[in-house]
Amino acid sequence: MLHQSLPLLCDSKIADSILLSVSHFSNNNNNNSIGSSRVLDVGLKFSKQSSGGGSSGRGFSSKAGVKTTTTPNVYGRRAQESVVEQEEAPQKLGFKTFPGQAFPFGVSQVENGINFAIFSQHATAVTLCLSLPHRGKSERTDGGMIEVALDPKVNKTGDIWHICIEDLPRDDVLYGYRIDGPRDWRQGHRFDSSIMLIDPYAKLVEGRRFFGDASRKLSKFYGTYDFDSLPFDWGDDYKPPNIPEKDLVIYEMNVRAFTVDKSSGLDPSIRGSYLGVIEKIPHLLELGVNAVELLPVFEFDEFEFQRRPNPRDHMINTWGYSTINFFAPMNRYASRGGGPRNASREFKEMVKALHGAGIEVILDVVFNHSNEADDKNPFTTSFRGIDNKVYYMVDLSNNGQLLNFSGCGNTLNCNHPVVMELILDSLRHWVIEYHVDGFRFDLASVLCRGTDGSPLDAPPIIRAIAKDSILSRCKIIAEPWDCGGLYLVGNFPNWDRWAEWNGKYRDDIRKFIKGDSGMKGSFATRVAGSADLYRANKRKPCHSVNFVIAHDGFTLRDLVSYNFKHNDANGEGGNDGCNDNFSWNCGFEGETDDHNIKALRFRQMKNFHLALMISQGTPMMLMGDEYGHTRYGNNNSYGHDTSINNFQWGLLDAEKSSHFRFFSEVIKFRQTHGVFTHDNFLSENDVTWHENNWENHESKFLAFTYEILLVCQLNCSSCIYCFLL
């Protein structure tokens, strides 16, 4: 922290070498302008990197003599050692500060310098921590951070703390905050000023640069910014595909897992990266899909399971459902360990290339919880330490404990006005800056809960997303359930905009094709567009996102190969993962050399795929199902950075003559015939059901005909359409 009294830090000789010029203003708590400054010399504290050990190799270098002091933190625990550097030749840093401005949140470049602004309603003290690049050097060595205490009489407007610093570099600055406040857990507070916190509005996040680098397992994460790079060149002829929702064929995929395997044939430097996806666009085009739904690409920590001894400490988070920051692209998906700035640029290159191929980009976003875990084993990196009571749902009737509707220990307080604006700002950022086409919201029923966790009929955040002008062209898809039992399939608040993952489609299609009794009517309803769920107001069949397989659960091959989950490798004694898989192993559990069983399994996979592609609604398939990927019965493979999750390109080549060709041709058949993509729900003129035995629960036969209306757009009287009419 920046102390106003130098003797608290060091003697006067040392102080001469570490002076900071800061502004001095009258006590105006409502100043929202940057203002003019008057120089006031105060002590500048250099602290050893306060966010813990295992630095990513970026910090503030030390020189000459070092004086070490140790102070207890606000909870009485021994704080990390702080370091004050004594230069051989005293040198003033000479930065000038201004009160700054409250908006926009995060870091912004203003006329007078670099502005920092952060919200914390309950904080009593905020300290900005900075690490500056060395002139002429590309890397920092492990060392200290500059800490600048914000004066609440000068640097605070309402609940927003802010400061502007002149002459800071325009890029390559690492920053974070220390924040103090009430220590009453029963009131929902979790302040701890010994922890450096990531700015929720940081547009880039620095950390370890290579995915799964065990030598940097405990490295910390910092906000950073880039005002120096030229704007990304999207090209003069660039335009997004703007594919109508009813015409989408979605391919759910993981950026890293798609190309990280050696069998991808890519240069090792781009395997598992955004650039790797670009190299495999020809495969997507050959398959026939026109939209990719990317598993989380916001910054996350793949080593989160390895922070302490536990049954899962052998695992690496490869799915990414544990967000650190909602604005920054995952920096370890950059090629060659390029870091956050390159990650941002390469993500844009990926989007541009996909759009150029006519493929839309939908992001799987996780606004139901964060990476900060629970109260038993917390990992405070941002929201928890900034203002836990605002950012998370807490139960004040139960000693301020965190509510857990996400199954991950915490639940974001999505309908609090500040959190709601954070979510909206994040979504707008990804649309404006990265040109994405839509979002799939993980456990979206959490977003339908009030600040106390109770369900809301008209959740403000859901309405705001549906009505937002910047998001108006985006596809918005809900996973309409959560881990607290709020199951909203067919009843998700929608404002005629929201589509839904149709979980009832998945279950009914699985049951019918594996041969369950009494499922024929339900199967017909699902194939026809689930009108029982979605024919309300102005909703359309495309608002049903149909899927048989998704990232969580069995792969398509495992669905026809296993009756039971086999999750022992996850370290939870087989207690994780869903038990209701509605699967059938075709006569043998797991892998077999029996040719008859294998032939039946491949036929069943084709049945599932065909049913999906002839159904009204928006189809979604999973990466790898086009060649029959197996996870060997693991239906919850989130923690395996191995062939269990990684696309096996060699197996694709082996199946291209049969299985893959069938999958590809069925997708293209769907896209060629408009009878599968009706704008509205089917009427009796659109389909003929060749069936008079609906009540027979043992009947497993169903036949129907889609009626094709042939229309010549020119009314030319000479084409085949006009001839037939």
Q: Where in the sequence numbering do the catalytic residues fall?
A: 442, 479
- Determine if the peptide bond prior to 104 is cis (ω within 30°): yes
What's the Cα-to-Cα distance from 487 to each of 130, 188, 220, 394, rounded to whole Å? 45, 28, 37, 22
**Nearest CA among 134, 352, 316 for reference residue 241:** 352
> What's the angle, vertex CA 439, arms to CA 360 and CA 211, rounded to 5?
85
Hunting for tokens 């050399």 — which residue is that?
593
Q: Which residue type is seen at 542?
A: C
**Nearest CA among 496, 634, 454 for reference residue 555:** 634
Q: Which residue type is seen at 501?
A: W
**Contacts of 692 by beta carbon, 8 Å cutoff, 6+ apart:** none
What's the Cα-to-Cα distance from 189 to each of 8, 79, 183, 186, 305, rounded to whole Å? 28, 20, 6, 7, 25
Q: Could you tell me the sign of the dihedral formed by the alpha carbons of 240, 241, 244, 250, in that order?
A: negative
**629 and 555 Cβ atoms separated by less than 8 Å:** yes
Give the end-to-end CA distance of the chain in Å, rounded to a whole number.
82
> What's the angle, vertex CA 105, arms to CA 158 and CA 317, rounded to 5?
125
Instruction: At 363, list the tokens.
Output: 């992001």
**130 and 116 Cβ atoms separated by less than 8 Å:** no
Tally of CB atoms within 10 A around 536: 12
**Contacts of 572 by beta carbon, 8 Å cutoff, 6+ apart:** 311, 312
* Residue 374: Cβ-neighbour burial (10 angstroms; 0-12, 13-18, 19+): middle
Paired strand residues for 293 = 252, 362
Instruction: At 278, list the tokens.
Output: 């670009």
* Residue 376: Cβ-neighbour burial (10 angstroms; 0-12, 13-18, 19+): exposed
Question: In whole angstroms, what is the distance from residue 567 CA to residue 565 CA?
Answer: 6
Three-state DSSP at 25 gives coil
